[in-house]
């Protein structure tokens, strides 16, 4: 029970949109609940978000669902208020909500402004908004932790994919700023996953196509497999618990060593 007496608000915590399978956010929500935390599930997808909260409650733990668009400040404020109203405090914020929609597979020149703005407003500004409105409550609650879900893309960019890695690099910068400005009451860290098998992938691909995708990714990984959402949830648990009591301002790569392999493959 490493998170006993903790209250965690997790954005992007709904099950996968297509088939209702696990996502990174839902895996973190379930893991935190199993370790004793009261969980505020936040997502724009009401049906799948409510299912996560219901799943937690069926296991005898406490959880509520709050529908919120992270690009809407009023809805962000409402989610934080809901945590305070239901549980009286907030001790952990996990920013996980992300957008992959729009024409993001382009250079900066070719990316439409509306699509650039959308991904910035969700992936970066959404993290800013929740930090802005959750931190005062975390401080009033005696302190706590922030865990931001970033990406390997913050370090290892590829051609014709401009907007997404820009937001993830900015999230790493935001994480360090939060760690500096709000210590010692709040520790802030980021997780930078590599390729993760998630429900969204399952929904967009047939089982055969998904296996082929995973096999292709695995070939280039020193660990010869794709990461699971549960493995990312375990890192989040470490960062939110006292097990990481002297870890602050870090951006932890969780890519199975792929970044190192790409850099030194000669």
Residues 6 or more apart whose CB falls under 8 angstroms from that of 252 comprise 189, 190, 191, 192, 235, 239
Ordered alpha helix ranges (H), the chain? 24-34, 46-58, 73-87, 113-119, 125-140, 163-182, 199-204, 207-219, 229-240, 258-263
Structure pTM?
0.93
pLDDT for 266 equals: 45
CA within 13 Å, CB half, 209? 7
In DSSP terms, which residues pair with 11 in a beta bridge? 42
What homologous superfamily does CATH list for 7-263? NAD(P)-binding Rossmann-like Domain (3.40.50.720)
Coil/strand/helix, residue 89? coil
- 75 CB-contact burial (10 Å; exposed 0-12 / middle 13-18 / buried 19+): middle
Confidence of residue 198 (pLDDT cuts 50, 70, 90): confident
Check if 164 is active-site: yes
Question: Which secondary structure element, helix H or strand E, spans residue 264, and what is its range?
Answer: none
Average pLDDT, the chain: 91
Interval 48-82: pLDDT, tens: 999 999 999 999 999 999 999 999 999 999 999 99
Query: In the predicted model, is pLDDT for residue 144 greater than 90?
Result: yes
More confident residue, 98 or 37: 37
More confident residue, 205 or 259: 259
Tokens 């490493």 -> residue: 2
The structural domains of the chain, with segments of one domain joined by +, span: 7-263
Fill in the DSSP letter of residue 82.
Answer: H
State the catalytic residue, choosing from 100, 128, 164, 246. 164
Coil/strand/helix, residue 122? helix
Q: How many residues does the chain have?
A: 266
Confidence of residue 264 (pLDDT cuts 50, 70, 90): low
pLDDT for 212 equals: 79
- The whole-angstrom separation of Cα 62 and Cα 40 is 9
């Amino acid at each position: 029970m490493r998170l006993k007496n903790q209250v965690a608000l997790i954005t992007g915590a709904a099950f996968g949109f297509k088939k209702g399978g696990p996502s990174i956010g839902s895996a973190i929500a379930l893991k935190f609940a199993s370790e004793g935390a009261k969980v505020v599930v936040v997502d724009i997808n009401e049906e799948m978000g409510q299912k996560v909260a219901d799943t937690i409650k069926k296991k005898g733990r406490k959880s509520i669902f709050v529908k919120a668009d992270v690009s809407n400040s009023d809805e962000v404020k409402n989610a934080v208020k809901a945590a305070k109203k239901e549980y009286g405090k907030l001790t952990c914020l996990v920013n996980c909500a992300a957008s992959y929609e729009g024409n993001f597979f382009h250079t900066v020149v070719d990316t439409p402004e509306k699509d650039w703005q959308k991904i910035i407003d969700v992936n970066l500004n959404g993290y800013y908004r929740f930090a802005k409105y959750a931190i005062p409550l975390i401080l009033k609650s005696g302190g706590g932790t922030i865990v931001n879900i970033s990406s390997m893309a913050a370090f290892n960019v590829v051609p014709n994919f401009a907007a997404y890695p820009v937001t993830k690099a900015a999230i790493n910068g935001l994480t360090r700023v939060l760690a500096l400005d709000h210590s010692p009451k709040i520790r802030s860290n980021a997780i930078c996953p590599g390729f993760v098998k998630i429900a969204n992938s399952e929904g967009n691909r047939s089982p055969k196509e998904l296996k082929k995708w995973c096999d292709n990714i695995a070939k280039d990984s020193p660990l010869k497999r794709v990461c699971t959402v549960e493995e990312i949830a375990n890192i989040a648990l470490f960062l939110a618990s006292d097990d990481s009591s002297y870890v602050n301002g870090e951006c932890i790569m969780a890519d199975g060593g792929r970044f190192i392999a790409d850099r030194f493959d000669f």
